[in-house]
Amino acid sequence: MTRVDVGRWRAARALAIAAALVVLAGCAAQVQRQTPELRRETGKLTRIVVMPLDVELAQLTAGGLEEPHAEWTEAALRHMRAALEEEAKARKVALVDFQPERGAPADRETSLDLVKLHRAVGVSVIVHQYLGAPLPSKDGKFDWSLGPAVESIARSHEADYALFLFVRDSYATGGRVALIVIGAALGAFVPGGAQVGFASVVDLRTGDIVWFSRLERPHGDLRTPDAAAETVKALVGDSLK
């Protein structure tokens, strides 16, 4: 694996472990806000850049391996983007797709690197904000940021905020389902697929994460429009107020 692939694997694995701990603890999906509402100017729609969706769907094999499924992932990306647009219309905000061809070459590279940074920061938020491992430097406050590099997005897209999403969704194969049934008959718990992820709204003036939500549950689907819309609403609906 390349260095980037290793980084992706480690971040996804850390999130999976965090999600598993939360699910086993019986906690529902939670939302953490730093500010209650987005800035709005009279007569002007708040513009939010939708960064490239960090989404991957996989099938969970009988042996417990998650095998990425490209066709499912492509469908999920389409359905999620359409669902986001419906949420935006209902809340009177303007969503703008990130366009890598905008801005200077250095800005484009920086903007795409921010998607990877968000993945790492989001995992840290879950571990240190939700799972009982607080950082002394935070002093109990929700104080997380992607840093001043987000200004490159503001410059190239003339927007107020950026929306970042990370989702990993897995579905049990027939072999895995059979193993789950056998395990249940023997009194053993065999986990099936799960849906885990987080979303952030970032203020492009400061780089601060002003809204954050996490979603960890043993159900949910992104492969069909209606199911994907339910997931999007559960994950980011309140972020577009």
**pLDDT tens digits, residue range 22-46?**
444 444 444 444 455 667 666 677 8
Beta-sheet strands, E only, within 52-174: 54-60, 66-68, 93-97, 161-172
**What is the Cα–Cα distance from 209 to 200, expressed in whole angstroms?**
6
Summary mean pLDDT of the chain: 80
Output the pTM of the full model. 0.81
Integer Cα distance of 207 and 222 in angstroms: 29
Q: Which among 4, 57, 35, 87 is positioned nearest to 200, based on CA atoms?
A: 35
Q: Find where tokens 């009177």 sit.
A: 92
- C-alpha to C-alpha distances, 112 to 116, 119, 152, nearest whole angstrom: 7, 12, 10
Between residues 223 and 21, the one the model is more confident about: 223
User: Rounded to an integer, what is the distance from CA 35 to the centroid of its chain?
Assistant: 19
Task: Write the pLDDT tens digit of every residue in 185-220.
Answer: 888 887 777 888 899 999 999 999 998 988 888 878
* Domain residue limits at 68: 3-240
Copy the structure tokens of residue 133. Answer: 């491992």
Total domains present in the chain: 1
